Structure 1
Amino acid sequence: MKGSSALRVEGSSRMPSTGISRGVSVLDFVLRVMAFICTLGSAIAMGTANETLPFFTRFFRFRARFDDLPTLTFFVVANGIVSGYLVLSLPISIFHIMRSSAKNSRIVLMIFDTIMLGLLVAGASSSAAIVYLAHKGNMKTNWFPICQQFNSFCERISGSLIGSYGGAVLLIVIILLTGIALSRR
């Protein structure tokens, strides 16, 4: 009798750990989907940002497009790469839901998550500097703020940055969750 109760106690303490690991895996999947939406939305918003203003006549026009600045092009490419990675990581995340005890695949996923976070933050931070210059300018170097004229363009690229930083925060939470899941092993 005493031996069977000891087995029950041991088995019952094992069950909540599996439930917590499965919950962490489901949360990981949901956060990956949300990060994908943020990064893809940011890439699309920045990639379609353009505005044209007439100048004196209809033959001369001023144009602002994302691909006029290499930094904004890098932003679109970085967000596109991270979005593609997040879609490709979803099947592995589903695997972790089914097999909560998987360890090696979590480690590999955590390494790639960290690399993608670095890429995403590099693209977003370099573009944030350009967006700041577009809004405020720099009078010491005679760079005038263009957002007074290209209002729609500036609103779009600013919103794109917000989505990208949201994706970066979600990736940070995903990395922390993966670390928690690995530490529980």
Structure 2
Amino acid sequence: MINTIVFDLGAVLIDWNPHYLYEKIFKEDEMHHFLATVCTPAWNEEQDGGRSLAEATQVLIAQFPEHEENIRFFYDRWPEMLRGEIPGTVALLKTIRDSGNYKLYALTNWSSETFPIALERFEFLSWFDGIVVSGDEKDRKPFPSFYRTLLNRYAIEPTEALFIDDNLRNVKAAEDLGIHAIHFINPAQLKDALTAFNIPV
């Protein structure tokens, strides 16, 4: 019996993408090259894990001094990467919340320095019974310890929880801990998957 639903935030409920900023700066092929070789996902994950934005920026500038301006843009203009909520998923979240039948949590890889911007912008983040932010914990998905922080803090029984994430790596990590999980593709697919778990949406 599922009584707890845990959402990832970025690319599930919130449309965040560095492309939204860097497409204003580069031609498309140059943008992809820059984000694959300079401001990479692996580099960004270190901030999700607790590294400060200032340190992260200096590390890259030391490696790529020719890209200093564009590297600084990543956090100086970070809000431009936030396009908005993903309406279909937020609607599903609202339906679940309004049913009153489930505890709702968020487990997110997010820098503690940028997360307050999202909290201010997205009212639906107040709907959760708790949010565990990787940057605050200095830990992140897919490490089992990060999932255990959520489980222990809110006394969640893994077999009674359902986790939703767009990253298959993170989904499998949850399943390895005995948590039911859905690999998010889009809101329509999520609705079908929730229905398969007998969650009325």
Q: TM-score, normalised by structure 2?
A: 0.25
- The structure with the largest strand share of the pair is 2
Larger RCO (CA within 8 A; separation ≥ 6): 1
Larger radius of gyration: 1
